[in-house]
Amino acid sequence: MRTILFIHGMGGGSDSRVPRLLREYRPDLNLVARTYAFDPEIALVQIQGWIDEVKPDLIMAESMGANYALVLGEGVPRLLISPGLGAPALIGKFCWLSLIPGEPALWGRIFKPREGDRQALSFDFRTSSHFRPLAKMVRDAMQKGQPSDGVLLRALFGRRDFYRKWGVVNIRRWKKHFGQDSCAIDDDSHFWNEERVQAVLLPELERIMPR
């Protein structure tokens, strides 16, 4: 059975919507989705360990998770959905805000995860500052461009993605580094409901991993 390692986005987890739907629609695949730490120092070790352990045939990553797929997944086909490759730089840039009393708690309320096995968020200065090294790793990985060995690296974007306004999602930058044909763009948002998974994500997966 072929294996997909799914790396969730910020505040997501093992029971996030997309991996849950993929398990339902593609029971022929072994989909591994685990909840990792918000702190990048810890998350990098965790996710690299999972890659070494499960030896995935495909890494699929959503939003913030795309950063880890990009820097750790060399040599493995990767499909990134709504990749938030500007998020580490943004969090690192404004980590000083977490020194203001009450600010970390405010951001914790704004980005509070849903109930379930979800990533616990912490916007304290120490954790937030750890996104700076991750941002550099992402920049370096982007500078390399498409893998020279031809292994798949593809992204799915939505034109109405709110996070484009903040530079968290940047379609133009993606195309600059990875090529015009390395992505698909629909008219949806940052998030993936069941209808969008059926219409966009499943056909992409079928092309990569036909039944």
The pLDDT of residue 105 is above 60:
no
Q: Residue 96 domain-assigned?
A: no
Query: Rounded to an integer, what distance in angstroms lies between the CA atom of residue 93 and that of residue 194?
Result: 34
**pLDDT for the residue 113:** 59
The pLDDT of residue 173 is above 90:
yes
Residue located via tokens 């998350």: 43
Q: Residue 114 domain-assigned?
A: no
Proportion of the chain above pLDDT 90, given as a percent = 78
b/e map of 68-77 (b: 16 or more CB within 10 Å)?
Answer: bbbbbbeebb
Mean pLDDT of 147-167: 96
- Mind listing the pLDDT tens digit for each residue in 9-46? 999 998 899 999 999 999 999 999 999 999 999 999 99
Q: Residue 101 domain-assigned?
A: no
b/e map of 103-120 (b: 16 or more CB within 10 Å)?
Answer: bbeebeeeeebeeeebbe
DSSP 201: I
**Among candidate residues 191, 148, 138, 164, the one with its CA nearest the CA of residue 172:** 164
**Among candidate residues 135, 119, 127, the one with its CA nearest the CA of residue 71:** 135
- Mind listing the pLDDT tens digit for each residue in 111-143? 665 666 788 888 888 888 999 999 999 999 999
Q: Residue 156 domain-assigned?
A: yes
Q: Which helix (H) or strand (E) holds 115?
A: none
Mean pLDDT of 44-64: 98
**Among candidate residues 165, 161, 211, the one with its CA nearest the CA of residue 183:** 161
Which domain CATH number covers 65? 3.40.50.1820
Q: Residue 45 domain-assigned?
A: yes
What is each CA distance from 165 to 43, 87, 191, in whole angstroms? 27, 12, 15
- Mind listing the pLDDT tens digit for each residue in 190-208? 999 999 999 999 999 999 9
Q: Which runs of consecutive H residues, i.e. helices, occur in the chain?
A: 17-25, 40-54, 65-72, 87-93, 103-110, 125-129, 131-144, 171-178, 194-196, 202-208
Q: Residue 99 domain-assigned?
A: no
Query: Rounded to an integer, what distance in angstroms lies between the CA atom of residue 155 and that of residue 61?
Result: 9
Tokens in use for 199? 């219409």
Residue located via tokens 């015009």: 180
The pLDDT of residue 99 is above 60:
no
Q: Residue 122 domain-assigned?
A: no
- Mind listing the pLDDT tens digit for each residue in 60-70? 999 999 999 99
What is each CA distance from 81 to 7, 62, 169, in whole angstroms? 10, 5, 10
Q: Which residue has the higher pLDDT, 55 or 11?
A: 55
* Number of structural domains in the chain: 1
Q: How sure is the predictor about 101, in pLDDT bands with cuts at 50, 70 and 90?
A: low
**pLDDT for the residue 194:** 97
Query: Rounded to an integer, what distance in angstroms lies between the CA atom of residue 156 and that of residue 146?
Result: 15
The pLDDT of residue 185 is above 90:
yes
Q: Residue 54 domain-assigned?
A: yes
Q: Are 190 and 85 in contact (CB under 8 A)?
A: no
**pLDDT for the residue 163:** 95
Parent domain of 56: 3-88+135-208
